[in-house]
Amino acid sequence: MKVIIVTDIFGLCETTDKMASFIAQHTDSVKIVDPYQGVRCEFSSEKAAYEQFIKDCGHDDYLSLVRESVLKDKPDVLIGFSAGANAAWRISELVAFDCKSILCFYPSQIRNHVDIEPKVPTAVIFPKKEASFDVLTMNTALLNRINVTTQIMPYKHGFMNCLSDAYDKQGETMGFEYILNRIRKI
């Protein structure tokens, strides 16, 4: 089984290393797509990371990077976080994309792409609250979609990345368990 992890605005970091190592124990192959194309960056704050993400890549260019990777590498599972989850959500409607499962952890830009109808089984994992939209309303809007499941976690946006202000060790553990359960079902 092949897995692609699509990072958040922090790109390659301790969290992605840990995630890749964990997933590699349960799959044949793990690849990471990040907005800085393999360059590790250090940021003074989450705000600085977001500013760099927008400057160096942005959401549409990130989508292009992810699209290129999934069409070339043909993963069985695509897992995205925040900005990476936004790209994964948008990729989910590709007809040529033969994937078994997509997991989107806290995709805040989903609010701008609610019209997407995934062709691939797609799980959207929301945080308990988003600054840019009402999580319960968005969750309800997606509930009856074909190929979409949702879950609201009791943590803040960014709970799985130790560089995020919202990082939560228990949330990270729950996220890892969620990923493992999804992989095992494939």
Give pLDDT tens digits for 3-34. 999 999 999 999 999 999 999 999 999 999 99
Q: Which residues pair with 151 in a beta bridge?
A: 125
Q: What is the pLDDT of residue 98?
A: 81
Give pLDDT tens digits for 41-51. 999 999 999 99
Domain encompassing residue 155: 2-184
Provide mean pLDDT across the span 49-76.
96
CB atoms within 10 A of CB 54: 13
Q: What is the pLDDT of residue 16?
A: 96
Q: What is the pLDDT of residue 71?
A: 92
Q: What is the pLDDT of residue 94?
A: 85
Q: What is the pLDDT of residue 107?
A: 97
Q: What is the CATH number of the domain that holds 21?
A: 3.40.50.1820
Cα–Cα distance measured from residue 175 to residue 181, given in angstroms and rounded to the nearest whole number: 10
Number of domains present in the structure of the chain: 1
Predicted confidence band of residue 95 (pLDDT cuts 50, 70, 90): low
